[in-house]
């Protein structure tokens, strides 16, 4: 399992979103408060963000724990963004190590993260892999369950499916083949789509700033709202809607 967050709104320093909150993503790498599976997320981390005037996000990913990367603190202090997706990783057994396996995954204008697991990786997931064209399967960023989930989502996005529909259809398809946990998080820098399917997710409107979506609250602000399991969240900086994600 992993922990992840996304932000849309007025420009903020990356560190204010990832490093500064007392129970934020940095602390969740070694002491998550609400994680239902696993106790640490030290198998890598990554941050993706958008610069004004450029629809293609930048990414900074590393194979080690976020607390061990001194250079990231400097970057996070000075880089400001209106949109961000960040994650800390707890690797599924049998999946590849290395920064290529750390979220966020990305393509075109998209950033993506998977908090969960596909049991039976890799041997029992041949039917899922067969749903992708060979060139897309060969183009996986890493040999991991999360990279496969991302490829299935991206296939739908490139076919013209809206973000929420792409996530929901991917979750339902995988659930037909595997008893998976599938908390997915997706952004294009202007909107966020997310699912709950087996672990925690919450969101909070930031007055005058925007919206935060996270695996768990980064502070004790009472305005955090926890989503029920099997939900689909769609958000912009100004509005948030939640729908039931039916099997």
Q: Any idea what the CATH number is for the domain that residue 95 is in? A: 3.60.20.10
Cβ-count burial 13-51 (b if 16+ within 10 Å, e if not): bbbebbbbbebbbbbbbeebebbeeeeebbbbbbbbbbe
Share of the chain above pLDDT 90, in %: 80
By annotation, the residues acting in catalysis are 2
Domain enclosing residue 23, as ranges: 2-244
Rounded to two decimals, the pTM is: 0.96
pLDDT surpassing 90 at residue 232: yes
Average pLDDT over residues 200-212: 91
Query: Alpha-carbon distance 109 to 118, whole Å?
Result: 26
What's the structural domain count of the chain? 1
Per residue in 2-28, pLDDT tens?
A: 999 999 999 999 999 999 999 999 999
Kindly report the average pLDDT of the chain as a whole number. Answer: 94
């Amino acid at each position: 399992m992993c922990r992840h967050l996304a932000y849309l709104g007025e420009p903020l320093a990356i560190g204010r979103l990832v490093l500064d909150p007392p129970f934020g993503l940095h602390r969740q790498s070694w002491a998550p408060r609400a994680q239902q599976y696993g106790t640490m997320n030290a198998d890598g981390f990554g941050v993706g963000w958008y610069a004004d005037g450029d629809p293609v996000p930048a990414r900074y990913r590393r194979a080690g724990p976020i607390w061990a990367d001194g250079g990231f603190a400097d970057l996070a202090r000075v880089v400001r963004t209106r949109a961000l997706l960040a994650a800390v990783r707890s690797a599924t057994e049998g999946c590849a190590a290395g920064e290529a396996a750390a979220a966020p995954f990305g393509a075109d204008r998209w950033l993506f993260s998977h908090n969960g697991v596909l049991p039976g990786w890799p041997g029992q997931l041949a039917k899922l892999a067969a749903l992708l064209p060979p060139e897309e399967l060969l183009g996986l960023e890493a040999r991991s369950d999360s990279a496969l989930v991302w490829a299935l989502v991206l296939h739908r996005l490139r076919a013209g499916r809206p973000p929420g529909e792409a996530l929901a259809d991917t979750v339902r398809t995988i659930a037909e083949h595997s008893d998976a946990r599938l908390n997915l998080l997706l952004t294009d820098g202007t909107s966020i789509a997310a699912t709950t399917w087996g672990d925690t997710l919450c969101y909070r409107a930031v007055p005058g700033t925007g919206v935060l979506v996270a695996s768990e609250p980064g502070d004790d602000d009472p305005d955090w709202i926890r989503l029920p399991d099997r939900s689909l969240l769609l958000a912009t900086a100004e509005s948030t809607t939640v729908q039931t994600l039916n099997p």
